[in-house]
Structure 1
Amino acid sequence: MIILILILFAIFLFVFNVLPVVKNNHFWAVLCLIGFIASGFFIVLNDVNHFGMSIEKKTKTYTLTSSSKKMNVLLYQGLGNGSEKIYIYKTNASQKKPLTTKTTKYSTKLTKTNKNSTLKVTTERYIYKNSLNKLLFGIFGNNNDLKHRYYHFRINKNWYILSTSQAKQLAKLISANKTTMQQEISTSVKSYLARELAKNPTLSQSQQKLLMQQAEIKATKNILDRYVAEIKE
C-alpha cells in the first residue's frame, strides 16, 4: 500500500506541477511533494528501523541427549579463528541427524549445572503492531523477520564439551587403548569393591552390584578425563 501511495503522490505531483489543471496548483504540488517525501521516508524507516513493528519473543527449552552413545558430550565446530562456535546437539536419543545452532543473528551462552543438560532457545522476531501497519508495509515481506536468536546451553558438569576434531582424536585414543581401558576399569572396580566389603562384609549381592556400577562409571570417567587432557584443539 505504501508503494501505491508513493506512486500516487508522484503522479499528482507531476499533474499539479506540469499540467496546471486546477487553481492554486503550486499549493497542491507542494502538498504532493511533501506526501511523496514522507512516503519515501517511512519506507526507508520501515526498512532500516522496522517502523510500525514490534518484537515478538518466543522461548523453548529442550532436554539434551548426548551426541555419543559411549559418553556424555556436547560437540561444537569452530568458525574462522575459533572464537565463534556452532554447537551440534540432539534433543532425543532416537534423533538420527543432530541439530546445529544457526550462524546468523545469534549468540550462545554456556553454563555448567548439576542438573540435566538443557538448551533454552529464545527467538526474537519483528511483527507488525497492527493491521494498518501490515497493510501499509506488508508488501515488503518483512513480517516475522528474525531479529536475534539466543542459545543458552546448561550442561551437566559431568558432560564433556569437545570440538569435532577433539572428538575424533578421543575416539582414536579409546579405540587404540580399548584393552588397556577394560583392564584398568576392571582392576579399579575390584579394588573398590574389596575395600567396601572390608568395611561392610554383609553387603548383599544387589548392593555389591550397585557399588560395582558406580565404581565402573567413576573409573571410566577418570580415564576419559585423562584422555581429554591429552588431546589438542
Structure 2
Amino acid sequence: MLIVLVLLSAVLFAVMTISTNQRGAMRNSIIGLLLVVMIGSIGLLFTNDNQHWGMKTVTTTTEKPLTSAAALSGAKLLLYQPLGNGHEKIFIYKNSTTQKKVAHTTADVTTTSSVTKTSSQSAKLVTKTSRYVYRNGFYRFLFAGVGNNHEFKARHHEFKVGRDWVILSTTQAKKLQQQAKTAQAKMKTQLAAAVKAKMTAAIKQNPQMTTEQQQALQKQYTTAAKQQAQQQLLAQLQKESLK
C-alpha cells in the first residue's frame, strides 16, 4: 500500500507542480498534502526496513539427533574449528551414523552456538531460528510488496550431549588420531599380555577348568581390558579438551 502511495503521490506531485492551469491556495494545499504523503510513506518504508516497524519476532525450534563427528576408538566427539580469537567457533557434527559427510554451523554474526552437557544418553542438536513477521493483517496490507515478511533474523544452535562426550578442536582431534595410530599396536600387545597374565593366574588357581570355561573367562578378561583402555582414552581426550 505504501509503495503505491509513494508512486501515486510522486506522479501527482510532479503533475501539479508542472501544471500552470491551476493557481492559488488550493493548488498549494494539494501540492503540500502530496508532499507530506510521499515523504511520510517513504519514512515508514525506511523505518520498516531498518527497524522492522510493524513486525514482531517469531522463533521456531527444531531438534535433530546427534552422533560422533569422527571415529576415534569409539569415543563420542563434537568437533569445532575456532575462528579469529577463538571465541567464535564453527561446530562440525553428524546427525546419523550413516551420514557420509559432516555438517557444520555457519560463520556469520546472525548464527551462534553453544554446548550443554546433560545426563541424557541421547545427544541432540536443538536449533532455534528467529524471523520477522508482520504483527497483523493491517501491517501486511500497509507494507504489501516490500517482501520482507518472514525475513531471517538470527539462529542459535545448542548441542545437547552426554557427559561422556568430548569437545575438541579439529587440530586436537588430528593430533590424537595420529597418536592413536602410533599407540594402537602397542596397546594391542599390552592388552594381550594383560589377558594372558590373568588367564595364567586363573588356570593356576583352578587347573580343573574346562576349555569352555577358559574361553568364557578369556572373553571376560578381554572385554574388561578393552573397557579399561577405553576409559583411559576418554580421560586423555577430556584432558586434551581442557587445554
Residues 1:79 and 1:136: Cα distance change in structure 2 (over 3 Å): same
Instruction: Summarize the alignment of residues 35-54 of structure 1 with structure 2, pairs less than 5 Å apart.
Output: 35-54=37-56
Instruction: Summarize the alignment of residues 112-127 of structure 1 with structure 2, pairs less than 5 Å apart.
Output: 112-115=117-120, 116-127=122-133
* 3-state SS of paired residue (1:213): helix
* 3-state SS of paired residue (1:35): helix
- Residue 68 of structure 1 is matched in structure 2 by 70
* 3-state SS of paired residue (1:147): strand
Instruction: Summarize the alignment of residues 147-186 of structure 1 with structure 2, pairs less than 5 Å apart.
Output: 147-186=153-192
Q: Return the TM-score normalized by structure 1.
A: 0.82
- Residue 219 of structure 1 is matched in structure 2 by 229
- Residue 149 of structure 2 is matched in structure 1 by 143
What's the CA shift string for 1:65-122, capped at 9, x where partnerless? 1112332100111111211000011111111121111222022121212212221111
Q: State the distance in 2 between where 1:13 and 1:192 align.
A: 99
Q: Which runs of 5+ in 1 are unaligned?
A: 199-203
Q: Which runs of 5+ in 2 are unaligned?
A: 206-212
Q: State the distance in 1 between where 2:198 and 2:62 align.
A: 43
- Residue 8 of structure 2 is matched in structure 1 by 8
Aligned AA (2:223)? Q
Residues 1:212 and 1:140: Cα distance change in structure 2 (over 3 Å): farther
- Superposed CA RMSD in Å reads 3.4
What's the CA shift string for 1:20-65, capped at 9, x where partnerless? 5476111112211111111011111111111222222110122211
Larger radius of gyration: 2
Q: Return the TM-score normalized by structure 2.
A: 0.79
Check the 8 A contact 1:181/1:223 in 2, yes or no.
Answer: no
Q: State the distance in 2 between where 1:44 and 1:192 align.
A: 79
CA drift at 1:167: 1.0
Name the count of aligned residue pairs: 229
Q: State the distance in 2 between where 1:167 and 1:223 align.
A: 13
Residues 1:188 and 1:40: Cα distance change in structure 2 (over 3 Å): farther
- Residue 134 of structure 1 is matched in structure 2 by 140
What's the CA shift string for 1:117-155, capped at 9, x where partnerless? 221111111123344433443433322221111111112
* 3-state SS of paired residue (1:43): helix
- Residue 208 of structure 2 is matched in structure 1 by none
Residues 1:85 and 1:172: Cα distance change in structure 2 (over 3 Å): same
Q: State the distance in 2 between where 1:123 and 1:77 align.
A: 22
Aligned AA (2:85)? N
Check the 8 A contact 2:111/2:155 in 1, yes or no.
Answer: yes
